Amino acid sequence: MTPLSISVSGIRGVFPRPLSPALARRFAHAYGVLLAPKVAFLATDTRSSGLCLARASVEGLARAGVPVRNLGIAPTPSVQFAVEHTEGAGGVIITASHNPLPCNGLKFLSRCGSFLDREELARLVRIADTTRGKALRQARRLPPADPAMVRAHLDAVVAAVDADAIRRRRFSVVVDPVQGTGAVWTRLFLKTLGCRVRMVNDRPLGRFSRNPEPLAVNLGALCRTVRACGADIGFAQDPDADRLACVSEKGEPAGEEFTLVLAAERALAYEATPVVVNLSTSALIETVARRRRVPVYRTPVGEAHVAKKMRETGSRFGGEGNGGVMWSRVHTGRDSFVAMALILDLLATDRMPLSSMLARYPQYVMLKEKVEMTRQQADAAVARARERYRGSPHDCSDGLRVVLPEGWIHIRPSGTEPVVRIIVEGVSRQAARRLLDEALSACLLGRA
């Protein structure tokens, strides 16, 4: 059986085993006991197992005395927005994000709308363990869906940018929502901004026509459609719509790292604010920040870490290089709708095609590798790498990130798999290859 994954991103697993309705009920109950919110917002992505898990979650929350407001099929950022803008609220989202079928999961939100941190997660798991095997069923119906907070979220995004400038351009946009929550909400959102919209991979809901992660290799249909209809831009979302990737008017993927970079260009033009990103995010973000004379802070991988650092530093903009954009003018969570609005705003303001914008940036090359090993071996590999690079600028808050003349290396044990992850970025493909070989050597030398 595929094991259950438990991390700051929530719990994920194959439905119905190991991710069963009973397990969802137990964790939802534990969440209600942990946070005791006045109300919990509940939403699902489009997976067929979502309704069953939502019903079980309502029963668990009811057993903990927590009333539920059901948003129905709703993007993760809409739930985060609802929690952040409702005093004393919490949130449970039924989604496995970019993971393929038949996986599903539960994401749990703190009272500020961010995901639980490591300490809160550990307490959640301990509470859930105390109820293992106990009957927690509480007769409660799933409330009817009320998407009012989703509409409020999308309206807030539109209000945060120069919507009139975007509407004047009447952009032609192709969207690939991979039959996820974006298939329900993105056309409406973009039409509010005056865009002419064409969808691919939007039906049937919950039957993913491509790998649901919005990586360049998975965006063939979107690229072909952008070229065929002469669109200005293409957008690809993941199933719960917190991540975004872009395709230029030439039908060429920009790469998910550029989503954050392009959004930062426009957000920092509105407000010169410190920027917070994780350790694996491209150094391109420093290029944008230097131009605006603002600092960049880096955190361990994970949206919760980025959100926490944003609050600590007073940052209004941050995110992760996987296509996750966080702009506190709307809410402090990854949001593909915020990313789309900021990028369209940038296109409307700069009045140049996306391909020309991308050509202005350094052509860094990022490579990623993972090596199977136990957690003990992974920790030892990171320790060997720290010894090797102890004379170079480095950060040890999440494995090891070291800055070198030709780029940087990030080596970290995975929190969800028995692997060590290696991410490098170089000033050229040859430099990136050298950095990757060097990092692999540092990790594997002397491995038992």
Report the CATH number of the 152-359 domain. 3.40.120.10
> Yes or no: is domain 365-444 CATH 3.40.50.920?
no
Q: What is the pLDDT along the chain (448 residues), one digit of tens a residue?
A: 578 999 888 999 999 999 999 999 999 999 999 999 999 999 999 999 999 999 999 999 999 999 999 999 999 999 999 999 999 999 999 999 999 999 999 999 999 999 998 899 999 999 999 988 776 766 678 999 999 999 999 999 999 999 999 999 999 999 999 999 999 999 999 999 999 999 999 999 999 999 999 999 999 999 999 999 999 999 999 999 999 999 999 999 999 999 999 999 999 999 999 999 999 999 999 999 999 999 999 999 999 999 999 999 999 999 999 999 999 999 999 999 999 999 999 999 999 999 999 999 999 999 999 999 998 999 999 999 999 999 999 999 999 999 999 999 999 998 777 899 999 999 999 999 999 999 999 888 755 4
The pLDDT value recorded for residue 301 is 94
The pLDDT value recorded for residue 9 is 85
What is the Cα–Cα distance from 21 to 41, expressed in whole angstroms? 18
Q: What is the pTM of this model?
A: 0.96
User: Does 97 qualify as catalytic in the annotation?
Assistant: yes
HEC letters along the chain: CCCCEEECCEEEEECCCCCCHHHHHHHHHHHHHHHCCCEEEEEECCCCCHHHHHHHHHHHHHHCCCCEEEEEECCHHHHHHHHHCCCCEEEEEECCCCCCCCEEEEEEECCCCCECCHHHHHHHHHHHHHCCCCCCCCCCCCCCCCCHHHHHHHHHHHHHCCHHHHHHHCCEEEEECCCCCHHHHHHHHHHHCCCEEEECCCCCCCCCCCCCCCCHHHCHHHHHHHHHHCCCEEEEECCCCCCEEEECCCCCECCCHHHHHHHHHHHHHHCCCCEEEECCCCCHHHHHHHHHCCCEEEECCCHHHHHHHHHHHCCCEEEECCCEEEECCCECCCCHHHHHHHHHHHHHHHCCCHHHHHHCCCCCEEEEEEEECCHHHHHHHHHHHHHHCCCCCEECCCCEEEEECCEEEEEEECCCCCEEEEEEEECCHHHHHHHHHHHHHHHHCCCC
Topology agreement, domain 5-146 and domain 365-444: no
Given the residues 57, 97, 114, 315, the one annotated as active site: 97
Report the CATH number of the 5-146 domain. 3.40.120.10
Give me the residue spans of the domains in the chain. 5-146, 152-359, 365-444
The pLDDT value recorded for residue 260 is 99
